Amino acid sequence: MKKFGLIGYPLGHSFSRSFFSDKFERENLSCSYENFEIKSINELHHLLKSNRDIAGLNVTIPYKRDVIDLLNDIDPDAVKIGAVNVIKVIRTGNEYRLMGYNTDMYGFTESVKPLLTSKDNISALLLGSGGASLAVKEALHRLGMEFTTVSRSPGRGDIVYSQISEEIVNHNRLIINTTPLGMSPDIDSAPDIPYRLLTNKHILFDLVYNPSETKFMRLGRSEGAVVMNGLEMLHLQAQRSWEIWNS
């Protein structure tokens, strides 16, 4: 039986295990999927040596960048993004090689495209400058979209939250939350933006998917904005992960 799994810390918010377990049962596949909560990325090789049936892994917070140093090969898209969220384990006897990929960019691109069909020359406000923002940045580049990155720390983004003006909100009609703010159980938190300036011309995309409607989305909806969570993005990137593991 082939085994797949997710590495990260902590993993209480993960959807991957239920997604793949349901898929394996529905399609009668002789596979399993487990959560591997590791406190350091340096535990990865021990995990792979002690679980010789692992054929692929998903990678989540906080290891999407740290894992790169432990890989043998990296897909060119993942190199450009600077983050890996899928590992293909290629085994030969007792030895193995690790190939890194990024499917977040694909998941985000395909889920946001339908929202942009009637939005000409739209630009984006990207909330957060951590690992989760890297795939979104590359996706926006490839969509030919201008964007401004907002960070809590001066120097990590183009601007800090206190610099978000009415002009900036009016100019950037797509606003993307790549931070964990609002994720269960911290459901009462949201990025500190001036929601009162939003209109029905704005689109709010939240990478968070649990709860299904975050405070960020709720505040945007109350001003007439179109809102979307990250669940479809996760489904798309998970399906692409499966294709990579079986290629």
Over residues 190-210, the mean pLDDT reads 97
Sign of CA dihedral 31, 35, 38, 42: positive
Alpha-carbon gap, residue 105 to 79, rounded angstroms: 12
Residues facing 92 on adjacent strands: 95
- Give the total residue count for the chain: 247
CA distance 124 to 150: 11
Rounded to whole angstroms, the Cα distance separating 240 from 88 reads 12
- What does the alpha-carbon distance between residue 183 and residue 189 come to, in Å, rounded to a whole number? 8
What is the domain partition of the chain in residue ranges? 2-102, 105-233
Query: Given this chain, do its domains 2-102 and 105-233 carry the same CATH topology?
Result: yes
Residues facing 159 on adjacent strands? 150
The amino acid that residue 50 corresponds to is S
Class of domain 2-102: alpha beta
Q: Each residue of 202-239: pLDDT tens digit?
A: 999 999 999 999 999 999 999 999 999 999 999 999 99
Collapsing DSSP states into helix, strand and coil, what is residue 49? helix
What pLDDT, on a 0 to 100 scale, did the predictor assign at position 118? Answer: 63
Say how many CA atoms lie within 13 Å of 210 toward its Cβ. 9
The catalytic residue positions are 64
- 88 and 98 Cβ atoms separated by less than 8 Å: yes
Give 115's DSSP letter.
Answer: G
The answer for residues whose C-beta is within 8 angstroms of residue 94's C-beta and 6 or more apart is none
pLDDT at 137: 96
pLDDT in tens, 32-76: 999 999 999 999 999 999 999 999 999 998 999 999 999 999 999
Cα–Cα distance for residue pair 69/50, rounded to 1 Å: 20
* Degrees, nearest 5: CA angle 143-219-129: 45
Give pTM, 2 decimals.
Answer: 0.91
pLDDT surpasses 60 at 129: yes
pLDDT at residue 120, rounded to an integer? 65
Token output for 98:
């690790």
Task: Kindly give the residue spans of alpha helices, DSSP state H, lying in the chain.
Answer: 16-26, 44-50, 76-81, 104-112, 131-142, 166-171, 215-222, 231-245
Radius of gyration of the chain (CA): 19
- Topology (CATH) of 105-233: Rossmann fold (3.40.50)
Q: Say if residue 119's pLDDT is above 60.
A: no
